Chains A and B, each alone.
Chain A
């Protein structure tokens, strides 16, 4: 048996070594696959704060992923077509600057999460699942009907957005950006769950009555977790759109919301690096099995079933010996 920390280090090692090998061996497609995995991991790290630590199962996180994607798509589209996003009451131009797009994606996703959270956190369990799903579906149909931005067809962006000093079209450079963001967010998460806020949020999942009895507001604790969670997934969405240089209503789809949950369950609910394992497994299966068989989701389902049957805490739980776990 090895410690969770050891597994985390091995995972970081994989995220460095595989792309480095692919770079040296001139296998850009492998780098692109790894970028996809890293971005999915980031999206699920966001969800994990709400689902794993907070304990409320959001089945609508594609709402934030898609919003982040459309922030990128819409701003970059206006920039490439030389039309302003807004002329009145003040001028807002499009942009192809990644940092600007990220900031806006994070802010708007946080605001959306605030709205969705205020409404849905009044409920729990199945009702919470349904309300979050309903919000994401609303976003989905809205994006389909918004023909100015491609409607069902989505938006294509010809040139990847720019980052000062880097050539973002070079796969390894874009991968590095995504990898560093993932690491930074994981480091923040690690701190957050060990902070007083993290302690309170963790306890709120386990014993709501206890949390209220020590004078803490359950609802506020959970709402903030949901907002941070949505913001992170929104950032992942902006990166995902940049990876594909394309955004479409599919980024709002409920299947995607479900896949984020699957990443977390595969890796280990509430485990810091759980989503990284889940996303790697998913992208790996998608690639290797997808080549052999169009129905590769069946195998994904089987793996999921086995994991849920044998370990409540995913792959991480299978590998790490049982311990008092907190963050």
Chain B
């Protein structure tokens, strides 16, 4: 399958006697949004951590564009093309919005060993950052301090930083969490547009967003993939309804 961007093969992770991920194999293809759903504690974040390199799987491997990246550090995976947003915002809160976005560009262009020229006169990075901020809808807030942004704006900023990396795939852990109706609508529109740039692996509890956005859904339950199919098939799958959807829809 030539268009598979990210794949996991038989990922297994245990914490003591708890099997958090049990033989998880998923594929994310070019141009698609692949959602991972499942009840609390199903192992979604644990899977994301293993894909992004913050946790090492006990078994199995992760491939990006056919290359085995299981042995790479989180940092190297970011450079290899994983653009990650965090479930809990990870931002330089004292810095401005623009500085946070430019930081992504510093990493992507490996300019961290430039010591003299002020960062704001690296005009290529600055222009790129402003274009990205325009796109996520934060351009008017670029000189504000990050700490005073609303929760929704912080989520948008996380996406903006990931965009600076020009990733081969976006990996997003619950980007809608804590957003109001308006906020999740906005972010849904943004993600909808992003898929043309790079596919998205999306962990999300917000079912409206998932059914609007996803091309493909994998359902995790007790660490196992109990279903993986297109949206309509998942919606009508009795096993899935039973394990998960039945409770809220």
Q: Bound pair: A and B?
A: yes
Chain A residues engaging chain B, CB cutoff 8 angstroms? 191-192, 194-200, 202-203, 206-207, 209-217, 221, 324-326
Measured CA separation A81–B218 after assembly (Å): 80
Measured CA separation A206–B102 after assembly (Å): 15
Measured CA separation A325–B117 after assembly (Å): 19
Q: Is B99 an interface residue (CB 8 A)?
A: yes
- B78–A213 contact, CB under 8 A? yes
Q: Which residues of B contact A211 (CB under 8 A)?
A: 103, 107
- A191–B116 contact, CB under 8 A? yes
Q: Which residues of B contact A207 (CB under 8 A)?
A: 90-93
Choose from A195, A200, A202, A212 the contact partner of B78 (Cβ within 8 Å). Answer: A212
Choose from A197, A206, A217 the contact partner of B92 (Cβ within 8 Å). Answer: A206
How many residues on the B side are at the interface (Cβ–Cβ under 8 A)?
41
Measured CA separation A273–B30 after assembly (Å): 52
> Known contacts A215-B78, A324-B145; is A210 also within 8 Å of B92 by CB?
yes
> Known contacts A203-B92, A207-B92, A213-B86; is A195 also within 8 Å of B74 by CB?
no
List B residues 50-109 near A (Cβ within 8 Å): 52, 74-76, 78-79, 84, 86, 90-96, 99-100, 102-104, 106-108
- A324–B96 contact, CB under 8 A? yes
- A203–B95 contact, CB under 8 A? yes
- A214–B164 contact, CB under 8 A? yes
Measured CA separation A32–B192 after assembly (Å): 68
List B residues 145-179 near A (Cβ within 8 Å): 145, 161, 164-165
Measured CA separation A194–B114 after assembly (Å): 10
- A214–B106 contact, CB under 8 A? yes
Looking at the assembled complex, report how far the CB atom of A195 sits from the nearest CB atom of chain B, in whole angstroms: 5
Residue of B nearest to A194 (CB): B118
Looking at the assembled complex, report how far the CB atom of A274 sits from the nearest CB atom of chain B, in whole angstroms: 15
> Known contacts A195-B114, A210-B103; is A325 also within 8 Å of B94 by CB?
yes
Measured CA separation A215–B84 after assembly (Å): 11
Q: Which residues of A contact B90 (CB under 8 A)?
A: 207, 209-210, 213
Looking at the assembled complex, report how far the CB atom of B48 sits from the nearest CB atom of chain A, in whole angstroms: 12
Q: Is B19 an interface residue (CB 8 A)?
A: no
- A191–B106 contact, CB under 8 A? no
- A209–B119 contact, CB under 8 A? no
The 3 lowest CB-CB distance pairs between A and B, nearest first, are: A214-B107, A324-B145, A215-B78
- A203–B103 contact, CB under 8 A? yes
